[in-house]
């Protein structure tokens, strides 16, 4: 089938690459000329430097005969005559009003341009049926409005479906080959039929939930799924983690084992962190609350979870001064991790990036930062905002040089042996701040050697002299 993608970000590029692997043709358009230029190199190193997602670059290179990347809309629209499905994958960030209202400017611009172009397909006859599938996360009633707007613009012979993505950054390609579920929200059987043909690999496949619902249910299901995931994380931080921090004789990992062996509860989300970040969970939970409030519904539970996430971050920052009696003013600190999680260079809504800002605001002399893949993304996003206050390092050892303390903020597996390097490079007294419990197996050893330890899910450990 001929699939088209508007938006070459995380969702669009991963989805297109997987469709090409499945034998479909994938044409991807984005206004970002630099991004399209990188994809068109079909060079693994260049793609990964710009857009780090495990196996994405390899998949694009392997299937380049079925993939086209364009930044010229007139060229892109040439493919409309034969298009079966056009996916909209543009970003829909929240507005800066802290309410939860989506900024739909990119989405509206894409729709306006698309509707005008669709009326011209097949020489204006619009003979070929086309399905417009919305992957962008949007308000629940959006698909119905898109269909009405298309009709007003004179678009004919089309359908609009909601086809939300449930990908996990860092394993999006893997999840796309073996998804838990594929959700299609449509209003007519013809659209379901087109999407079944597209997803034939998963329709009635064992182990995959192929779910057909109406468009509102599909859109709401995406928002609610992300809220449930966020609530699990925040509950872990603020209840299980806090219990481990304030009641002596309790180890977080042992509590986790007790709880997660209950099959009714499951294992997701039972790890500690300084903040539940990323581009989806908090954004979609805020948007869900806003839409329920707009319909006069009560959202105390959702707002409490969102507030609990912020509280946990603030509480952790305060522990550095309150528990460890450590002043960051004038200090040089090592920071390990900038991305919001391992296996990605995405720094959107990253707790690590927020911590960098908080430390500089608090008067840190310099932050020596190291992330295996996110240094360049951080530089690109923040530019010269922090000047020489942030120094980018090429290794863990370089970051530790001359530091009075270190903070572990991203769960890269290689950071699990940092305790050995700290003992070697940084003599006590020294502050170790572990926001991911990456070196929890060595807290007592560090304490015995004279190091102060502040860690999520543990009481403050004062170094022994």
Residues tagged active-site: 280
Please state the residue numbers annotated as binding site for substrate: 166-169, 222, 277, 341
Question: In angstroms, rounded to a whole number, what is the distance separating the alpha carbons of residues 177 and 196?
Answer: 16
Distances in Å between the Cα of 132 and the Cα atoms of 5, 142, 152, 267, 302 are 10, 12, 16, 36, 31
Please state the residue numbers annotated as binding site for NAD(+): 30, 35, 92, 137, 169, 283, 348
Length of the chain in residues, anyone?
A: 465
- Name 368's bridge partners: 334, 391
123 burial type by CB count under 10 A (0-12 exposed, 13-18 middle, 19+ buried): exposed
Cα dihedral 447→240→413→268 (10° resolution): 170
DSSP state of 236: I
3-state DSSP assignment of residue 420: helix
Contact assessment for residue 88 and residue 107, using Cβ atoms and an 8 Å cutoff: yes
3-state DSSP assignment of residue 279: coil
Exposure on the CB side of residue 42, measured as CA atoms within 13 A: 12
CA 413 to chain centre: 18
DSSP state of 186: -
**Given 3-state DSSP classes, what are the helix, strand and coil percentages for the chain, each rounded to the nearest 5?**
45, 15, 40
Contact assessment for residue 427 and residue 449, using Cβ atoms and an 8 Å cutoff: no
Please state the residue numbers annotated as binding site: 30, 35, 92, 137, 166-169, 222, 277, 283, 341, 348
């Amino acid at each position: 089938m001929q699939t088209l993608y508007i938006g070459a970000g995380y969702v669009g590029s991963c989805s297109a690459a997987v469709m090409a692997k499945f034998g479909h043709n994938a044409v991807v358009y984005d206004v970002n000329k630099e991004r399209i230029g990188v994809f068109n190199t079909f060079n693994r190193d260049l793609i990964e430097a710009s857009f780090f997602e495990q196996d994405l670059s390899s998949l694009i290179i392997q299937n380049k005969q079925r993939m086209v990347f364009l930044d010229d809309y007139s060229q892109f629209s040439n493919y409309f005559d034969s298009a079966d499905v056009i996916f909209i994958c543009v970003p829909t960030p929240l507005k800066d009003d802290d309410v939860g209202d989506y900024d739909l400017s990119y989405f509206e611009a894409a729709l306006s341009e698309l509707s005008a172009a669709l009326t011209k397909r097949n020489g204006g006859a619009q003979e070929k049926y086309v399905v417009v599938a919305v992957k962008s996360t949007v308000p629940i009633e959006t698909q119905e409005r898109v269909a009405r707007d298309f009709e007003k613009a004179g678009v004919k012979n089309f359908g609009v479906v909601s086809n939300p993505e449930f990908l996990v950054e860092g394993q999006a390609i893997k999840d796309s080959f073996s998804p838990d579920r594929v959700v299609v929200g449509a209003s007519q059987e013809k659209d379901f039929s087109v999407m079944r043909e597209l997803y034939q690999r998963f329709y009635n496949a064992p182990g995959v939930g192929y779910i057909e619902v109406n468009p509102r249910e599909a859109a709401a299901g995406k928002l609610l799924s992300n809220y449930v995931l966020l609530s699990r994380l925040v509950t872990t931080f603020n209840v299980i983690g806090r219990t481990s921090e304030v009641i002596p004789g309790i180890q977080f990992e042992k509590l986790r084992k007790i709880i997660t062996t209950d099959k009714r509860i499951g294992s997701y989300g039972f790890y500690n962190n300084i903040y539940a970040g990323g581009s989806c969970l908090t954004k979609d939970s805020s948007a869900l609350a806003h839409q329920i409030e707009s319909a006069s519904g009560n959202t105390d539970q959702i707002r409490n979870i969102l507030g609990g996430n912020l509280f946990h971050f603030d509480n952790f920052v305060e522990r550095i001064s309150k528990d460890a009696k450590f002043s960051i003013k004038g200090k040089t600190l090592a920071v390990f991790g900038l991305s919001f999680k391992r296996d990605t260079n995405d720094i959107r809504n990253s707790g690590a990036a927020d911590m960098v800002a908080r430390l500089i605001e608090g008067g840190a002399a310099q932050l020596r930062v190291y992330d295996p893949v996110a240094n360049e993304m951080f530089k690109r996003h923040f530019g010269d905002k922090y000047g020489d206050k942030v120094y980018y390092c090429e290794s863990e050892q370089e970051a530790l040089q001359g530091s009075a303390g270190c903070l572990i903020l991203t769960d890269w597996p290689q950071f699990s042996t940092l305790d050995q390097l700290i003992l070697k490079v940084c003599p006590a007294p020294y502050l170790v701040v572990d926001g991911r419990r990456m070196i929890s197996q060595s807290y007592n050893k560090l304490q015995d050697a004279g190091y102060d330890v502040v860690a999520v899910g543990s009481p403050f450990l004062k170094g022994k002299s």
